[in-house]
Amino acid sequence: MKKSKRSLIENYEITPFTCFIKPIVYGSKIYSQVVELNDEFISPFKPKVIINQSCEYFGSSYEGRKSGTRRLIGVTHKAPIIIDQTNPIFFFPTTSPLSDDCIWIAHHHVIDYKKKGNGMVQVYFRNNITLEVNMSIGSFTNQMQRTAVLESKVSKINKEIGKMAYGLHRMHNDMEASETPRNYSTEKTDE
């Protein structure tokens, strides 16, 4: 991975610019290296904590998002999740999320990946940063595909909701248009 300046930050919520969150040893603790399209940070929290806090920031919890993935695509092991549904941000873990070695990767920022050898995968991101991941090419491909399926299901649901909202809006406008305006006069009439 190419080097850049790293700022230490206390709180971090995942954004559409977040590429990946990687555990790093910092002294005797595990911190997170957070790489965005144009920036990089070090957080004193483990990646799983940042994932959970980000899910909560966007109105859910990690367990809720994981449960949603299970319901939508039937995946329970190393499940990809949606962090934010309004700006569809999808992440997947490289190992069990309970492992201190787990890296969380933003699906939409991966432009390519290749087998590197010795069970490693070289991942290429849209900001020209590369990352070596300790997993087989088959497992990485599986994670990319699972996340794409989840993204497709969520997109379909969002489109259906959008159509319903549009239909309700049209129905409301049609009801207003069907009312004939009445002209009420305050003038006295001779009767």
Phi and psi angles of residue 16, each rounded to the nearest 5 degrees, phi first: -65, -15
189 pLDDT more than 80: no
pLDDT tens by residue, 156-181: 988 888 777 656 655 555 555 555 56
Residue 130 exposed, middle or buried by CB count within 10 Å (0-12, 13-18, 19+): middle
Nearest residue to 3 (alpha-carbon basis) of 134, 131, 121: 131
Euclidean distance between CA atoms 55 and 82, whole angstroms: 8
Report pTM. 0.82
Q: What is the pLDDT at residue 113? A: 98
Tell me what the mean pLDDT of segment 20-35 comes to: 95
pLDDT of residue 169: 53
What's the CA angle centered on 149, arms 74 and 102, to 5 degrees? 75
Report the distance separating Cα 125 and Cα 113, nearest Å: 9
| Residue 56 confidence (pLDDT) | 95
Order of strands across the sheet with 130-134?
A: 110-117, 120-125, 130-134
- Distance, in Å, from the CA atom of 98 to the CA atom of 30, rounded to the nearest integer, reads 13
Contacts of 121 (CB under 8 A, 6+ apart): 113, 114, 115, 132, 133, 135, 136, 137, 140
CA distance 78 to 76: 7
Least confident stretch, 19-23, 93-97, 161-165: 161-165
pLDDT tens-digit readout, 110-144 = 999 999 988 999 999 999 999 999 999 999 999 99
Query: E strands, 9-137, where?
Result: 18-26, 29-36, 40-43, 81-84, 89-93, 104-106, 110-117, 120-125, 130-134
Q: Angle, nearest 10°, between helix axes 62-73 and 137-178?
A: 90
Distance of alpha carbon 11 from alpha carbon 115, whole angstroms: 34
Q: Using alpha carbons only, what angle is made at residue 185 by residues 184 and 187, rounded to the nearest 5 degrees?
A: 160
Residue with tokens 């949606």: 82
